[in-house]
Structure 1
């Protein structure tokens, strides 16, 4: 396998030695510019991220540690030149490396992020440069339409196609599976694909193949015990990922996946498995209306443009709930997520304004120092 074929096998999107189309823009055009600026460097993809550093690969059967740039290791705010958490490499990112030292992070085509835990506003990268996100949820006590809606909000905010994968179809009663599928009819109406699978059965899992063609990258997200590692093993055809039993009373599991990892599949696609995530905070960049277009369409039919959908006369949203056409829990989640996104967007705006002010103050300080000491 040539070096170029090896890169393509782990998701490299550029054609071999093909020049950028005239007037091209976007991440891939920027990739070419950076590669031209570092002629001695070669691309490699981040396949594992650890506290101590990164494991990268330049082919499907390779994997080696790489020395990070200093600004990727310093705590945020440590001093000038540091970068925020989401600006540091994550699984799925492409780097330019010389030897075993990173020299540049290539711009991302797509991202999956969430708001980081804690009081201060930060964004945390889940995966980068992915084409599809499989939102995995078990057809048992793990099934939670509201959590699925929250995942979809984050996924679509990064410009990635979501697919809802309902696992443990072999364990669910037929009536339970049918009921679960019916609760997701709103998602199907919005163009979100929904698939129910037995994660242990290759024939059943084959329904996901249309999103796992050569050169594509998919990421699995979902709570612990949903069956992500089992699904990964079935797609690989070998028992590579550790799996564990779930608790009977709530169908929750331990974190059998302890870190994010990118794995080449026999189909030619790449799959990123992630640990279960209990906290899914919006970043403030999500579009609530896109994820709840059915409710937005109803709101347009309300008598009053500023209808709060509470007790106002002529409220089409309340009428749909009373007629059984809109799930009241879905509407409640819509209101909750709208408030969370608005709050996060306000924090994001404040942070950007603070950074802009610090930049202006820094320039003013440098100007005064130049004038005082005659620096040029």
Structure 2
């Protein structure tokens, strides 16, 4: 298991997790491996650092109606036999988002993650509201978020107080034990502040907009120019998608790093808890309202309105809380409908099978 430990295997030997042991016992000829790349045409898995082999996905995964979130993602542990994935081992954590489109779908960004670096540039890319949206998805998936503010060197040159201003904008998140670090992504000494999260056996994923500096940060942590980078547009600090697919890389520190393409849309899945988005303080205030069903509008004894009027609660942050609350509720309704439809399909399928058995006999 030593090579596997180098790419994040969470056990010293065989797994303690009963579900993992059962899966391995059911496929005694299969070998555990980790998904290190995900492409439209298939997967690349590794059984150790600097290794990689293309494998085929199971036939079930290739069906159009197969749930996307039940397919493997980068970071997943799988069992492989004869060049084919035969089992997906249960996830310990996952970053998911609602897929684009009207129909309810989930997309897994990465799996089995310890820490997520939410990368945001200290230029026009800086957006506290988008950071809150990332936190909602990250924490709800069971990972620890760290906000990494890149381009600190450039920001200081252009505005000596830029870093302090950004830190002040995130003070409510920092007060809820969310780590915030400002770095020059091109300087190894500067990014050393991230080392506590990059210890051997740990897995970290980078998320953020195109042009935020994810690939630059990856190259610096690797000590080589492995990831392609490009300049951002001057007008809005947006970058082109230099990272075109998700990939897991073993770092010299012994940690594993997953770089991801920039994401423009961050839709909730409906499984999130708003407190995970850095809104625990607002949720606590809401519990102090006089009425349990308070809408925080004109009701008497509203603790949330009192905090807003006293200047203790940022109106923009509260407005974003309401927006996310409605989005999560809407996604939860779609999820419930989808689950009910699936349950109905199963019942209908059983009824059809029963009628066929009665008519033609069991086969």
TM-score category (smaller protein):
over 0.9
In the alignment, is residue 270 of structure 1 matched against residue 256 of structure 2? Answer: yes
The corresponding residue for 1:136 is 119
In the alignment, is residue 365 of structure 1 matched against residue 362 of structure 2? Answer: no
The corresponding residue for 1:259 is 245
The corresponding residue for 1:287 is 273
The corresponding residue for 2:177 is 191
- Does structure 1 conserve the Cα–Cα contact (< 8 Å) formed by 2:200 and 2:255? yes
In the alignment, is residue 169 of structure 1 matched against residue 148 of structure 2? Answer: no
The corresponding residue for 2:35 is 46
Q: TM-score, normalised by structure 1?
A: 0.93
In the alignment, is residue 9 of structure 1 matched against residue 6 of structure 2? Answer: yes
The corresponding residue for 1:75 is 64
Deviations 1:289-323 (A, max 9, x none): 34311111222333333322223343322232233
Deviations 1:214-263 (A, max 9, x none): 11101000000100000000110111001110111111111110100000
Structure 2: gaps (5+ residues): none
Number of equivalent positions: 359
Deviations 1:124-172 (A, max 9, x none): 0100011111111011110000000000001111111111111111111
Helix, strand or coil at the partner of 1:282:
coil
Residue 101 of structure 2 is aligned with which of 118, 121, 124? 118
Question: How far apart are residue 188 of structure 1 and its match?
Answer: 1.1
Helix, strand or coil at the partner of 1:359:
helix
Structure 1: gaps (5+ residues): 21-27, 77-82
Residue 328 of structure 1 is aligned with which of 308, 311, 315? 315
Task: Provide the C-alpha distance between the structure 2 equivalents of 1:132 and 1:276, rounded to a whole number of angstroms.
Answer: 18
Structure 1 residues 370 and 194: alpha-carbon distance in aligned structure 2, compared to 1, 3 A threshold: same
The corresponding residue for 1:349 is 336
Question: How far apart are residue 324 of structure 1 and its match?
Answer: 2.3
The corresponding residue for 1:79 is none
What RMSD in Å do the two structures reach over aligned CA positions? 1.3
Task: Provide the C-alpha distance between the structure 2 equivalents of 1:362 and 1:315, rounded to a whole number of angstroms.
Answer: 50
The corresponding residue for 2:89 is 106
Task: Provide the C-alpha distance between the structure 2 equivalents of 1:304 and 1:356, rounded to a whole number of angstroms.
Answer: 36
Runs of 4+ in 1 over 3 A off after TM superposition: none
In the alignment, is residue 59 of structure 1 matched against residue 48 of structure 2? Answer: yes
Deviations 1:170-192 (A, max 9, x none): 11123121011011111111111
The corresponding residue for 1:304 is 291
- Does structure 1 conserve the Cα–Cα contact (< 8 Å) formed by 2:135 and 2:276? no
Question: How far apart are residue 17 of structure 1 and its match?
Answer: 4.4
The corresponding residue for 2:195 is 209
In the alignment, is residue 149 of structure 1 matched against residue 132 of structure 2? Answer: yes
Task: Provide the C-alpha distance between the structure 1 equivalents of 2:298 and 2:183, rounded to a whole number of angstroms.
Answer: 42
Helix, strand or coil at the partner of 1:112:
strand
